[in-house]
Amino acid sequence: MLKKVVVLFVLLLYCLPVYAAPQEENSAELLKTVLRAQSVEKIAHGVWVIPETAINDYFAMHTESDKLKNPSIKLLGDNRMQIAFDSSMGRVNLTCEVKQFVHNQTQSYAQVYIRKKEVAGKPFMSWMLKFIPMGAIANLYGNPLKDSDVDARFDGNTLKINFRPLMEKTLLNTDFGRQVEINSITVSEGVLELNTNLRPERMLGLLVAR
């Protein structure tokens, strides 16, 4: 279960289309979904919106069925979200809170706190999970992403992810991409908002500089 949890968070926090060169046939539709969610008012303040439907579509496109089955996300508001997926234990539901998210030229990291762990239809197992932090599971079974492109580890029930190694393989490792800064992520009901430095005047300046 631990590896599935980490993989889900990695996909979730980097689902914005600017983060990777789209290659799938469905990427154009995904981009359209994201663009339709934008508003002039929010973009004027550097806020870019990712709708819940786009995130779930991204999950469907980027998860391997033999490792992760039927993942879904529900954005609850107050920086909280519920992530669900099928596992050998049954349908797992995680209620999580994004505590910190920063991306700039020198740092790229996130901290997500897992507030609640449940297995659908199994109240005893769900009760047991209250007393087992994700960090203890990681210590017992090892870090599932030890050899991956991100540095991810659990501290208690907090997942800490360093995305810097991953950024070297995305569009953020271009002259334009290196100018992108994300100060925080706000989770509202049904939408994920990225608070960035990409205001219209900033974007125009970057494009003219090219």
pLDDT, residue 27, reads 66
Contacts for 167-173: CB closer than 8 Å, 24+ residues apart? 167/103, 167/108, 170/14, 170/19, 170/20, 170/21, 171/18, 171/19, 171/20, 171/21, 172/18, 172/19, 172/103
Q: Give the separation between CA 17 and CA 110, rounded to whole angstroms.
A: 18
pLDDT, residue 17, reads 39
Find out whether 119 and 126 touch, Cβ atoms under 8 Å.
Answer: yes
135-148: pLDDT as tens digits: 887 777 665 555 55
Contacts of residue 92, Cβ cutoff 8 Å, sequence gap at least 6? 1, 4, 84, 85, 86, 117, 118, 119, 120
Residue type, 101: F
pLDDT, residue 127, reads 92
Q: Which residues of the chain have pLDDT under 50?
A: 2, 5-10, 14, 16-23
Whole-model pTM: value is: 0.77
φ, ψ of residue 154 in degrees (nearest 5) = -100, 140
Find out whether 73 and 89 touch, Cβ atoms under 8 Å.
Answer: no
Q: Give the chain's radius of gyration (CA, Å).
A: 17
pLDDT, residue 142, reads 63
CA-nearest of 138, 177, 179 to 161 is: 138
CA-nearest of 89, 94, 90 to 72 is: 94
pLDDT, residue 22, reads 46
pLDDT, residue 90, reads 84
Q: Which alpha helices (DSSP H) does the chain contain, by range? A: 2-13, 27-36, 40-44, 52-62, 123-129, 134-141, 164-167, 200-209
Q: Which two tokens stand for residue 150?
A: 């991100």
Neighbours of 182 (CB within 10 A): 21
φ, ψ of residue 173 in degrees (nearest 5) = -100, 30
